[in-house]
Structure 1
């Protein structure tokens, strides 16, 4: 199996596992598993789930993260951060 096919298989397996978890677990458990899976699939040390609580909120809410996040971390919405920019420009 070539590398692309292997990566596709791993990704599909991870999504299936998250789907199964989503049926029986609470939201916090699903979010924690999602960040761990994303970090593993991307080969990075940390991943987070961020969202805007309301359309006018100036900062993003971090719902889950694979590592410990300091309590003073502020992630600006819109073009104030990479995450904010990505969320603002999703089509």
Structure 2
């Protein structure tokens, strides 16, 4: 596992989840949330590889990769829900 990939994977995933969620539900005022939390999201995933180099335990690896991949699970769930359950006839 290349831990340097945590930075782009985590940052892109969390940004996408925070932007696509309000767009899907029509709550466009919530699009400001990623702007306000943007630096925190980027900083979190920028230091993740360094944390794994410092403490490469299996628990740390599982938690950080789970956190980075969580938004993609949510996005896939939204896509499946939209394609299957929310079909309007």
The normalised TM-score by structure 1 is: 0.35
Higher relative contact order (CA 8 A, sep 6+): 2
Q: Which has the higher helix share?
A: 2
Q: Which has the higher strand share?
A: 1
The normalised TM-score by structure 2 is: 0.36
